[in-house]
Amino acid sequence: MNIDDIRNRATTEINGAISLDELKEIRLKYLGRKKGEITLLLKSLKALSDEDKRKFGPQLQEMRENIEQALVFKKRELSEEEDWADVTLPGKRPEPGHLNLITQTETEIRRIFNSMNFSVIDGPEMEDEYHNFDALNIPAWHPAREMWDTFWIKTPDSAKKKYLLRTHTSPVQIRYMETHKPPFQIISPGKTFRYEATDSTHETNFYQLEGLMVGKDISLAHLKFVISEFFRQFFSNKNVKVRLRSSYFPFVEPGVEIDIKLDDSDWLEVAGAGMVHPKVFKYAGYNPKEWQGFAFGFGLERLIMVKYGISDIRLFNSGDLKFIKKF
Ligand code: DAH
């Protein structure tokens, strides 16, 4: 019984095969269930003495496995080649990624405010207590601090200076005023963080968009115009109504809540705003007798949810492809 001879013959034939059909023939010739050369050899083992069975059995099995393997490899190789062979077959379309809806919307909002001569400013996501709270007229003892559930950050010098993940984009107002002279108008979109339970309208990690305009004789009328123009463009809708409702935020006086109304739907609260508080101007190093300004802050996801009819804020971070591919 010349096992090596069969192995060599079979392997040479397999390697030389140029089509899947030919490979099938070779498989049949050696491993066919009825007349395969190796199959017959394995069957003939039965007639041998126990001693010969022990000798040839394992060698034959091993050879059979080698041939099986060689067939599998060659089949893979030939299948790939045959796939390539017909270049007129329709291709598999690669699936490119795309920008997340939040990024798309942010870009659109930047464009709208740019058209009204606002600049776009960045600020740090890790803030210090001073910029996130104190300079916005929210000292440590102020009950309003409870409006912002805060992620505090432990640092080696926490006792001297406290850091946190910014709870709103308002600290960018302070940072910008510290280094720039009025008049100016800016927006600052970015991530914000709150230590609170999540549900369909609350996330621990969400986006805000801050706005600030400072100059001579700036009034709530300017705020109302800028905001109305923004919403008109954002919703591509001449019928969007805007109303200012009296409210309270420590860093503005008077403070307002901005509501919008689209066509036949109800009034929706979408932003906080107001006239920059004199104390905030003082913290920033401005003379409040000389300058006036308005500020506003939107929740970005909220605006997107209203625009696209999305009912759960948690979808934005879910990685749910059905949701992502829709936009
Ligand atoms: N920072 C406020 C918040 O996170 C929103 C806000 C209210 C921003 C009034 C403003 C403002 O600039 O004037 O709830």
- CATH code of residue 181: 3.30.930.10
The amino acid present at 75, given as its one-letter code, is K
Residue from 163, 19, 34 nearest 79 by CA:
19
Mean pLDDT of all residues in 193-203: 94
Domain co-membership, 78 together with 107 = no
Predicted local confidence at residue 298, as pLDDT: 96
What residues does 292 pair with on adjacent strands?
215
Domain co-membership, 127 together with 43 = no
Please give the Cα distance from 285 to 73 (Å, whole number): 76
Q: Specify the ligand 1 atom closest to the Cα of 294.
A: 13
Predicted local confidence at residue 267, as pLDDT: 95
Could you give the residue ranges of the DSSP H alpha helices within 119-247? 129-132, 171-179, 220-234
Domain co-membership, 59 together with 125 = no
273 lines ligand 1 (CB under 6 A): yes
Residues 303 and 270 sit within 8 Å (Cβ to Cβ): yes
Domain co-membership, 297 together with 195 = yes
Whether the predicted pLDDT of 246 surpasses 90: yes
Q: Specify the ligand 1 atom closest to the Cα of 212.
A: 12
- Those residues with Cβ within 8 angstroms of residue 248's Cβ, 6 or more apart along the chain or in another chain: 144, 255
Two structure tokens written together for 113:
């405010």
Instruction: Name the residue with the closest Cα to ligand 1, atom 11.
Output: 273
Query: Does 90 reside within a domain?
Result: no
Count of structural domains within the chain: 2
Domain co-membership, 78 together with 150 = no
210 lines ligand 1 (CB under 6 A): yes
CA 218 to chain centre: 38
Please give the Cα distance from 89 to 245 (Å, whole number): 63
Mean pLDDT, the chain, whole residue set: 93
Domain co-membership, 107 together with 80 = no
Domain co-membership, 46 together with 155 = no
Whether the predicted pLDDT of 237 surpasses 90: no
Residue from 239, 303, 247, 245 nearest 270 by CA:
303
Give the domain-ending residue among 85, 120, 141: 85
272 lines ligand 1 (CB under 6 A): yes
Predicted local confidence at residue 182, as pLDDT: 97
Mean pLDDT of all residues in 209-229: 97
Instruction: Out of 10-24, 90-104, 268-282, give the one with best mean pLDDT.
Output: 268-282
274 lines ligand 1 (CB under 6 A): yes
Domain co-membership, 247 together with 216 = yes
CA of 266 to the centre of ligand 1 (A): 22
**DSSP category for residue 262:** -
CA of 63 to the centre of ligand 1 (A): 77
256 lines ligand 1 (CB under 6 A): no
Whether the predicted pLDDT of 92 surpasses 90: no
Predicted local confidence at residue 1, as pLDDT: 64
Two structure tokens written together for 48:
């041998």
DSSP string, 20-48: HHHHHHHHHHHH-TTT-HHHHHHHHGGGS
CA 207 to chain centre: 12
% of the chain exceeding 90 in pLDDT: 81
- Those residues with Cβ within 8 angstroms of residue 142's Cβ, 6 or more apart along the chain or in another chain: 133, 250
Query: Does 96 reside within a domain?
Result: no
Mean pLDDT of all residues in 45-52: 90
Whether the predicted pLDDT of 215 surpasses 90: yes
Please give the Cα distance from 30 to 32 (Å, whole number): 6
Digit-coded pLDDT (tens) for 290-312: 999 999 999 999 999 999 999 99
Query: Does 92 reside within a domain?
Result: no
% of the chain exceeding 70 in pLDDT: 100
| Residues with a known catalytic role | 148, 168, 194, 208, 252, 295
Whether the predicted pLDDT of 9 surpasses 90: yes
The amino acid present at 225, given as its one-letter code, is F
Please give the Cα distance from 209 to 101 (Å, whole number): 15
CA of 168 to the centre of ligand 1 (A): 7
CA of 169 to the centre of ligand 1 (A): 8
Query: Does 94 reside within a domain?
Result: no
Mean pLDDT of all residues in 49-76: 92
173 falls in which pLDDT band (50, 70, 90)?
A: very high
Q: Is the dihedral of CA 135, 136, 140, 142 positive or negative?
A: positive
Whether the predicted pLDDT of 90 surpasses 70: yes
Domain co-membership, 182 together with 108 = yes
65 is in which domain, residue-wise?
3-85
Domain co-membership, 267 together with 150 = yes
Domain co-membership, 124 together with 253 = yes
297 lines ligand 1 (CB under 6 A): yes
Residues 164 and 132 sit within 8 Å (Cβ to Cβ): yes
Query: Does 91 reside within a domain?
Result: no
